Structure 1
Amino acid sequence: MNIWNRLSQQAEQPYTIAEIAANHNGDMALAERMVEKAKEAGCDCVKFQSWTKTSLMVKSDYDPELERTLDQYSMTEEKLRTMKSLCDRIGIDFACTPFSRSEIDLLVRIGVPFLKLSSTEVTNLPLLQHAASTGLPLIMSTGMGTEEEIREAVQAVEETGNTRIVLLHCVSVYPPKDEYVNLNNIDSLRERFGYPTGFSDHTLGTAIPLAAVAKGACVIEKHFTLDQSLPGWDHKVSATPEQMKEIVDGARRIKAALGNYERQLSAEEQDNRRIFRRSIVAARDIPAGKVIEADDLDAKRPGTGLSPSLIKQIIGKKTSRTIGCDELLTETDFA
C-alpha cells in the first residue's frame, strides 16, 4: 500500500508515529535504540526534527544554556541520514519535521515519504507552500490554530495543487488537562475541511490516543522515550516502549471492533441465536382442540422453535394435537 493510502485510509489500524523529536538528547546511540524499540512496539514510523539554532529562533532569545542545548539536540544531515539508513534496514518509516525551506529540501533529498509540519507553522504560509510544492503528502498539526488560521493554511497548500493533506488535531500544552483535549475536534476538522484527520497527542498515558482511534483518527502521533525520567524537553509527556505497544495493539483492536455502520450478525452470533434466544413453549399440558389462551404459553430456550414475537398470532387458535408442558410449539400444532 502506498504511503498516502496508508496515511489516509486507516487500514487495519491508524498509522502510528513515534515522535522521537529531541528525546535522543543528542546521543545517537540512544536514538538508535529508540528507533529499534519503536519498531518492536509495532509503530509504523519514527519521526525526528531537523531544526538548528539558526532556523528555530532569533538570537536575542538565546541564553548560554539554551544555546548549548540547541547545539547538542539538533540533528545534522549526517545524523539524519544515519537514522534513515537504520530505519530502512529494520523496516520502519523515517520521517522528520522541518523548520525551514532548506531543511525541507534536505529531507526531500534524504527520501522521506511525507513531510510533517509542526503546529508552530500553521500561520507560516510560505513554508507550508514550499513543503506542498515538493508533491509529498503533508501531515499538518493544528495546535494553537484557530479555525480561520487552519483554513488559510489548508488553502495555501491547495493553491500549490497538493491536496494530499492529513490534519492532526493537537493541543499545544505539555500535558493538557483532559477537559482541554477536545477530541470531538477530530470530527469537526474532518467535516469542515474534508481531509483525513488524526491526532497528535501530548497527554499522559494511553487512554486519550486510544480514544482518538475510536473517533476515527487515521494517524496517531505520540512522543516517545525509553525513560520518562531522562533530562530533556518532552520525556515526561512521552510514551515508553510498553505504552507505545499498548497504543499500537489497542488501536488494532479498536479499529477491528469499530466495524461498519450496517447492522450485521457474525456466524458465531447467528449460532448463538439458536442457543440463547427463546421459543414458544406450552406453559402447561394443552389438550387437542383447545383454544389457545395467553396463560397456555411461555417462552424458553433454545431458539430453535417459533419466535415469542408470534405469541399474539397464536392466541385464539385451536390446537391440532395434545401438547405436553414445556414442549416447543410448531406451525403444524394449530388448526
Structure 2
Amino acid sequence: MAMRKRTLKLLTFLVLFIFLTSFFLNYSHTGVPTTWFPKQMVLELSANFRKLIKFQPCTCASCLSQHGVSAWFDQRFNQTMQPLMNAHNALMPQDTYQWWLRLQRERKPRNLSDIVQELFSIVPGDVDPVLEKRVVGCRRCAVVGNSGNLRESFYGAEIDSHDFVLRMNKAPTLGFEADVGSKTTHHLVYPESFRELGENVSMVLVPFKSTDLQWVISATTTGTITHTYVPVPPKIKVKQDKILIYHPAFIKYVFDNWLQGHGRYPSTGILSVIFSMHVCDEVDLYGFGADSKGNWHHYWENNPSAGAFRKTGVHDADFESNVTAALAAINKIRIFKGR
C-alpha cells in the first residue's frame, strides 16, 4: 500500500511537471499562451510521458531493461515475453508446443487445452504475467543459487534486503540463514525437485512436460500422480493461490535467445535469472558457480568435491555461466561469488 501511494505521488508530480514545462515552453516560443484543449493536453502529456519512460524505465540508478547500453543485450532481451502462464496467454505457437513436448520426450501427452482449463480452475488463472511490475519504482531481485560458494559468505542479511528473493529446487534455508538468508518470495521447482515451502512463499512450477501441469492438479486435489520418471510427492501443502506457472514459451525464449540452442534445455538456474530480469529492475546473483577452490557442490552438502550438479547432461553449464558473466560485464546484473 505504501509503495502504491509513493508511486501515485510520483506520477502526479511527473504529470504536473510535464504540464508546467510544456506550458512555459509554449508561452516562451509564442509570446502569448496558446489555448489548450483537453485532447491537445492529453496528447502532449502522453507524448512527453512516453519519452520520459523510454529514457528512464525505473527509478533505480541503473535500470536493467534499459536499451542502448549493449547491442548484445538488446538482441536477446525481449521485454514483451511473459514469464508466467495464465488462462489468457496459455495458447502457444505450434512450433513452441512441439519443442516443449520433446524436452522430456513424452509419448502420449494429454491435450494441453484440457489440462490448462482444469489447471486454471484450481490455481489463479488471472495472475499478472510480470507479477504486477510497475512502470516506475525500483524492484530488486536476489536470485539465490545452490552453490557451495555460499558457505561462510555471510550474505544472509544482504539477500533478505531485496524485494524479491528467488530460490530453486531443494534449497534449504533452516540452519544456513547467516549465509543464504531466511526470506523467500518465489521458489522455482518442478515435480521431481519439489520441497515443502513456507506459508507465504509462491511456488513457481517450471513445467518441462505436460505431466508436470497435471501433477499440480493432482497434488492439490486427488493425489493420484505419484511417479513421473522418479517418485514425486502425491500431495503438497502449498496453497492453491500461491501456485504460479512458468510459461513453456518463456523456457523456449531462454533457450533460443539466451542459450542459442546450447544444451537440451535450460537449467532451473538460468531460467531463474532470466525470469528475474523480466520482473525486476535490479538483479543480484548469489550462489552461482564453483567455490573458491573450483569445486562444484551444493551449500548443504558435505562432499565439496562432488560436482554432480554441474554435469547434468541435459544442460550446458559452461555456456550458461558465460551468459551470466556477460550480463555482469555490461552491468545488467551483479554476481556475488562468496567471500
Do these two structures clear the TM 0.5 threshold for a shared fold by scoring above it? Answer: no
**TM-score w.r.t. structure 1 length?**
0.32
Q: What TM-score comes out, normalization by structure 2 length?
A: 0.32
The structure with more radius of gyration: 1
Q: Per chain length, whose mean CA-contact separation is higher, i.e. which structure has more relative contact order (CA < 8 Å, sep 6+)? A: 2
Higher strand share goes to which structure?
Answer: 1
